[in-house]
Chain A
Amino acid sequence: MVKNMAIVSKGVKNILRTEVFDRLNGHFAVYKPADVLPGQVASRVKHALLRDLNELPDPYPESVVKIVPDEARLDHNPNALTALSVPSLAGHPLVKGRKYKSLRLRLLSEGHDLKSSGVMALALQEGVERVDFYKQARLPSQYIIHGRLGFATFSHDIEGTIVEKSTYGHVTQPKIEKVLSGLLRMSQKDIIRHSGVNIQSQEAYELASRNLLQPSGDIPCLLLDLRCSKFEPPDFEIEVHCLRESAQYLRKVINDVGLFLKTNAVSIKVRKIQEGPFSLDNCLLRKDWRLDPILDALRTCNPLMSTYKLLPIELQKDELLAKRLVKDNISKDITQEEERCFVHRAESAPLKE
């Protein structure tokens, strides 16, 4: 009936709230404001959803079956019984309480802390089961870090206690870019080291020539790209592409940039602009942490988290597999069984020339 149709905002109230609840599965992104803990964001979203769900009308209240004497047949059988379905008083919301009391909502993205802001992905209900699958995909994140030259603090943050002060008149944008490319080179060595292949081998050369030399397994924070997008002394902005990052690590990177420039720097703002498939375009602002916008967001974001897009990069290059997966994804979401079969088959298949 309504299963494959989109829910229009006005129409949510006409649909059974059990159907709405069944539809709350998958992944979506919110714009995390600064000065709110990531866990607090998740709990606020959860409470807003529960409140909205409980406010939806319930046209089918609970009923209970009662076994009573059957008046119609009492004449010729004094012990006749019949079963009646009556509205249940014990199941009335004023007696039992709210129907929806809990939701599974987990953080999908790591790396946010109290002071950072930006895109933060959340997993809802059944989406929680795909968290591990998403993490093994190792999709990179993008940050914009606003920095300020001239002083260093204890926490590498503008609110910390100042440890050092210095002049920054000698700093120019080309100098910053030189330092960033140096940091990138150091990071590149780390990427190769964590890719799991011996850099002196033929295998490494073949992978590298096809751009498949990716880090794997348990990796530390790796910087994939660094760019200075703005320089208005003393303020500057750096765009970072990274893997497995944390906001404090990025603040330390800014501190190191300052030190390499023979001055000091702190980060004013750490802002995430992309998290895997989630970007600023499809994340929800604080005023939209409600049922209707979240349902819309799930509809747009769930296809972005399809199996094909979360496969390791090596397997995405397999054209046949890609076609098979894309074809399946258009009609319906792949079940977990099929997913496991594909991944297993792809992993056991040899690298094609």
Chain B
Amino acid sequence: MYTRTLSSFRNVAERLASTECIKWKPSCVFNIDRLATSHNAKFCTEMKQRYHLKLTLQRNPLGKLSLVGIHTPQPALHKVFEPHKVTTIASIDVPHIDSVKTSVSEPSWMDESLPIEADEDLDILAPMDNPPVLEQFASLPLPSHTYTLASYVEHSITLQKLVELGVDLSKVEKKEGIPTELLKMDFETDIQEKLIYLNGIGVAGEKLGRFVTRNPHILLEEVEELQARVDYLKSKKFSDVAISQIVNRAPYFLSFSVLRVDRKLGYLQQLLDLKGTEVREVITKEPRLVTFKVSKIQENVFVLREQLGFRKSELKSLIIKEPKLLLRGKEHMVGIFDYVHNVMEIPHQVMLQTPKVFASRLHKIQERHQFLKSINRDNYDSTQPQYIPLEKLSRVPDSIFCDEIAKKPLEEYNAFLKTL
């Protein structure tokens, strides 16, 4: 096709564009002698933007230079959705997730081989029966790397069943290696048998969800291993009730191998000079003694014996009554002892009878002692009348303390607290 003037060139391009003919290869040639140089650049950009015609100079067979317009179609819409770069904690091979179904069957207008052209007559806001939904938004591809399990929870039945159970995925996903492992597992083949076994031991209902949240590694253990560890406890004459208590209070207990548990129990027995029944009593009350580091227990024994001055026999009776003492922070214990022994002048014997005093908060003991001192009722000697037992000092709420122990109105106590 040949034209002579710029305006006729433009007319031809317009006509061709309006016919909605996608594949056309015009060769509109223009005699270069007639081109005014000042219109050149403007004309070129206009042709490119409006009609997608790329203009080039060619020498025709006659030897004359001519301006040729070649139709360059608009490139296909590139991906709008680009995943952000974040630290990944779970990665999957996308084809493994078979439960992903495309909810919409692909109609012909979603064929990606055809380029999508900007149609100037199309009104995007008008209601349509078949809206041109981009494939990316109809069924989003799963991200291959993610920083939260929430990205996969809609598609993974395993995760959905765990959420139904009460497992807190937001806490579980923070543990190293767990999210990837969980996604690789299938609920029915891998996880179900372990949950059934735990239910049999005594971790039932709500406790199961809480258990798995605290110790998700249990799902990576074999049932035979768990069975062996429970059998070991039974061989050491722990009752079924005791075993269920242990497992519930220390979710990581069952992740310890038989050898480690045996060593720990032996060490505790030797350290505190305990008999078999006493070991059982102590471990049932505080099974975390097995899961905590030995150095912590050693440190606390040192504090109780050397710093606070309890004798070995006293220490034993203290631990049997309150095994949690071996796990408390040493600054806290020293602080409470310092105040109770040196300021309140309570001897070791009284503290032995109420080891719970170490479980209370220091500021509570301080406030209440100072209040009792201000009303001259700070009498902790059991031989004298109107004495105040140590366990009642800190372990009761304010209202009961004021009514029964101090026998003063609560407002007076509050007013006193504001003078400290």
**Interface residues of A, Cβ cutoff 8 Å to B:** 31, 33-34, 67-69, 77-81, 89-98, 117, 271, 280, 283, 285-287
Q: Taking CB as reference atom, which chain B residue is nearest A271?
A: B419
In the bound complex, do residue B131 and residue A96 qualify as a contact, i.e. CB atoms below 8 Å apart? no
Cβ of B378 under 8 Å from chain A: no
Is B163 engaged at the interface, CB distance under 8 Å to the other chain? yes
Q: Given A285-B414, A285-B418: A95 and B149 within 8 A (CB)?
A: yes
Say whether A94 contacts B151, CB under 8 Å.
no
CB distance from B64 to the nearest CB of A (A): 54
Contacts of B150 in A (CB 8 A): 90-91, 95-96
> Which of B137, B154, B417 meets A285, CB within 8 Å?
B417
Give CA–CA (A34, B419) in the complex, Å. Answer: 11
Size bracket of the B interface: 20 to 34
Top 4 A-B pairs, shortest CB-CB distance = A97-B170, A90-B150, A95-B169, A95-B150
In the bound assembly, the distance between CA atoms of A92 and B165 in angstroms comes to: 13
Select from chain A the residue with minimum beta-carbon distance to B209.
A94
A33–B363 CB distance below 8 A: yes
Given contacts A94-B168, A97-B170, contact A89 B163 (CB under 8 A): yes
For residue B103, CB closer than 8 A to chain A, the reply is yes
Q: Which chain B residues lie closer than 8 Å to A95 at the CB level?
A: 149-150, 153, 159, 163, 169-170
Give Cα A69–Cα B153 distance, bound, in whole angstroms: 22
> Known: A34-B420, A95-B153. Contact between A81 and B133, CB under 8 A?
yes
Q: Apart from A89-B154, A97-B170, what 12 extra A-B contacts exist at CB < 8 Å?
A: A34-B420, A67-B133, A78-B105, A79-B129, A81-B133, A89-B163, A90-B154, A91-B150, A94-B166, A95-B149, A97-B168, A98-B170
Using CB atoms, name the residue of chain B closest to A86: B154
Using known A-B contacts A81-B131, A90-B153, determine if residue A69 contacts B170 with beta carbons closer than 8 Å: no
Distance, CA A261 to CA B418, complexed state (A): 31
Q: Are B169 and A94 in contact (CB under 8 A)?
A: yes
CB distance from A332 to the nearest CB of B (A): 33
Q: Which residues of A contact B107 (CB under 8 A)?
A: 79
Q: 1/0 per residue B140-176: CB within 8 Å of A?
A: 0000000001110110000110010011111100000
B306 to chain A, nearest CB (A): 25
Within 8 A of A (CB), among B366-420: 398, 414, 417-420
Complex contact A280–B398 (CB within 8 A): no
Knowing A67-B133, A79-B104, A79-B130, the reply to whether A92 touches B163 (Cβ < 8 A) is yes
Asked if A94 contacts B420 (CB within 8 A), the reply is no
B271 CB–A CB distance under 8 Å: no
Contacts of A285 in B (CB 8 A): 414, 417-418
Question: Which residues of the partner chain A approach B159 to less than 8 Å between Cβ atoms?
Answer: 95
A95 vs B170: C-alpha distance in the bound complex, in angstroms? 5
List B contacts of A80 (CB < 8 A). Answer: 129
Is B420's CB under 8 angstroms from A33's CB? yes
Q: Which residues of A contact B151 (CB under 8 A)?
A: 90
**A144's closest neighbor in chain B, by CB?**
B419
Given A286-B363, A287-B398, A94-B418 contact (CB < 8 Å):
no
- On chain A, the residues within 8 Å of B130 by CB distance are 77, 79
B167 near A94: Cβ-Cβ < 8 Å? yes
Q: Which residues of B contact A69 (CB under 8 A)?
A: 103-104
